[in-house]
A = this chain, B = another copy of it.
């Protein structure tokens, strides 16, 4: 079988993690031929990992243009800092390389149009690598929705609820881009983990579209309190510094179909991890945090204490797996589950490879990328204007009315 000769641009936590935990284990599909990062030590580490896993020593460079000029690269995984996602992806497309673009929010509406326009000019295979579109619970609920179990869908919500206080405040040591974003910006800076699966479920850009949003941020206290509490071991540059990023940001999106989407960014206060993927319909709902499926048959007007209901239905999502869980999750291997984020990364990289090698349409395309990434920009504007509604551009130029559903895996 043909393999994808892959270049990786960006070898930090995410890029190196994907290489080490997934790509070297998927040599059936991938041969890593080139590596790029602005830091030499990261290239060296990644190169060693590639060689140790039986591939030839890849080309290494600190200049992504050098990587993009090479004939031995078919596709690039772009996992650099958020600020470089669009320029690197556009350069790669212009160089005729297929693009697997890691997730993150955008910084301008124009950048999102640039991404779309560059793809429309080049038409190279392009996939937005939103791994959460491939996670088990999102796919279970999507499959149930597709089979009509929840009736007409009227609302979805989700969050990026992830205590990042340590990661962000160690940003200097770790050379991580989140720190500068949290210091300077105030927005829904990372919308796609929750929005991606919701947008796929609601057929966004394929029969539906996101029309407008409002976004509101709480004050910013979490990072500063964390810095103060850990000041003995803290990077001294952060002590007493004002973080602009609000602790909790809510964004409400309205869709052409009348559905609403609630997003929450919740990353600088103590909490447990959750994406809170929730699907609400006229016949029932799915709630990810307690893994609850609740249908008409479960309605009980005698219970007013919510804890009683949570206890009663907790984790009953399991009971629906046999009937509704997509095959890709039914057939997942132990090795895949261990290979990063519980298996979704592995599935995602296999799906990218399969679509690329078969010359098929990518499951998450440039219109998805642009419309999901632009939420950060519009959220920033809305927050700055006291929650004012912002129009969400139609990146398909009206083609959403004729484009057909494309689920990320068969349902």
Contact = CB atoms under 8 A, between A and B. Distances in A.
A218 interface: yes
A315 B342 CA distance: 27
Contacts of A77: none
Interface string A224-268: 011000000000000000000011101010100111101000000
Interface string A363-394: 00000000000000000000001111100000
Interface in A208-234: 212-214, 216-219, 221-222, 225-226
Contacts of A319: none
A299 interface: yes
Contacts of A313: 272
A282 interface: yes
B270 A221 contact: no
- Listed residue (A155, A299, A386) with the most chain B CB atoms within 10 angstroms of its CB: A155
B274 A306 contact: yes
Contacts of A219: 154, 257-259
Contacts of A307: 288-291, 314-315, 317
Interface residues of A, number: 73
B222 A282 contact: yes
A304 B343 CA distance: 12
A166 interface: yes
A400 interface: no
A309 interface: yes
Interface string A277-294: 000111111001111001
A216 B248 contact: no
A273 B387 contact: no
A334 interface: no
Contact of A218 (B154, B216, B225, B246): B154
Contact of A212 (B226, B252, B387): B387
A323 interface: no
Nearest to A212: B386
A121 interface: no
Interface string A101-123: 00000000000000000000000
A152 interface: yes
Nearest to A309: B272
A163 B299 contact: yes
A360 interface: no
A305 interface: yes
- Listed residue (A151, A246, A269, A296) with the most chain B CB atoms within 10 angstroms of its CB: A269
B294 A270 contact: yes
A289 B272 contact: no
B387 A252 contact: yes
The 5 closest A-B pairs by CB, nearest first: A219-B258, A272-B309, A274-B306, A225-B282, A214-B387
22 contacts: A154-B269, A155-B248, A212-B387, A214-B214, A214-B252, A216-B252, A221-B282, A254-B387, A269-B280, A270-B283, A270-B299, A271-B285, A272-B298, A272-B303, A272-B313, A273-B303, A273-B305, A273-B309, A289-B309, A291-B307, A304-B342, A314-B314
Given A154-B219, A247-B280, A311-B315, 14 more contacts: A166-B301, A216-B260, A219-B258, A252-B387, A270-B284, A270-B285, A290-B290, A290-B307, A290-B310, A291-B306, A291-B307, A307-B317, A310-B314, A388-B389
